[in-house]
Amino acid sequence: MNIAIAQTEILFESQQTNLQFAADWITQASKNKADCIFFPEMSFTGFSMHAEKIASLSKAVPQTMQNLAKTYAIAIGFGYVSANANGTYGNHYQICDKNGDILLDYTKVHPFSYSGEDQFYQGGTDIVTAELCGLPISTILCYDLRFPEIFRLAAKNASLVLVPANWLAQRSEHWQILLRARAIENQVYVLGINCVGMQEEQHFLGDSYLINPEGVILAACGNATQLRYIEIQNDIAIYRENFPTIKDARFDWYVRQYQEKMR
């Protein structure tokens, strides 16, 4: 599978401008024969705590991305915010296939309480997995990376786990270490997709990575805005056969424990 990593500079709460840049990158990725393109968390607004405003801006985003996917025959992963029926808001990541059909829609399970995200966004409850170009794929979002329990569940049926993020520069070492650890302990490919630049007074350093099941960095995007192409093979079974640690994972037990924690 040929993946385009969209390591973007997100102009804070300037959705229309960000969408214009995204459309250009989607067009370019399609011309370069990418099967899919993945954007960071809250892809077109930045990491905003103005939940009501962002949800209002985001209403048309899923349909816009689905139309672009169909027009350019490329799968697209993107973040957006939606209002819930109970008056709360969810921080989402959706992947639609090249026909514009929704493959998965994930809601961030762990809002980042240190920044106050939990005061504005309700945590999700479901792990989602789908098949893209023959590769089982799952996603978590940013702060979720710090919780190995959820990653273990996401990796149960996935060969690739996406981690779209708005990860701050001052904790960039945590970012790389945790991405590599999650790949190693779950024997999966991990793709961290971060943004660059400033959002208000917050600095984002990029450093998007593709990491293989042995923790080897296969692609590092550095600190500049870029569209980076990478290839992933569906060879997880080989890694797990050569050093079969994942077979000892007690998935049913993890599920029970996590369900208890979520009550």
The three-state secondary structure class of 238 is: helix
The two tokens of residue 118 are 């939990």
Phi, psi dihedrals of residue 60, rounded to the nearest 5°: -90, -5
Catalytic residues: 41, 108, 142
Question: Directed axis angle between helix 51-58 and helix 61-72, to 10°?
Answer: 40
Q: Are 211 and 218 in contact (CB under 8 A)?
A: yes
Which residues, 6+ apart, have CB-to-CB distance to 173 below 8 Å?
Answer: none
Q: Are 36 and 69 in contact (CB under 8 A)?
A: no
Q: Are 29 and 23 in contact (CB under 8 A)?
A: no
The two tokens of residue 68 are 């672009």
CA distances 114 to 126, 192, 194, Å, are 22, 21, 19
- The secondary structure element, H or E, covering residue 131 is strand 129-132
Q: Are 12 and 46 in contact (CB under 8 A)?
A: yes
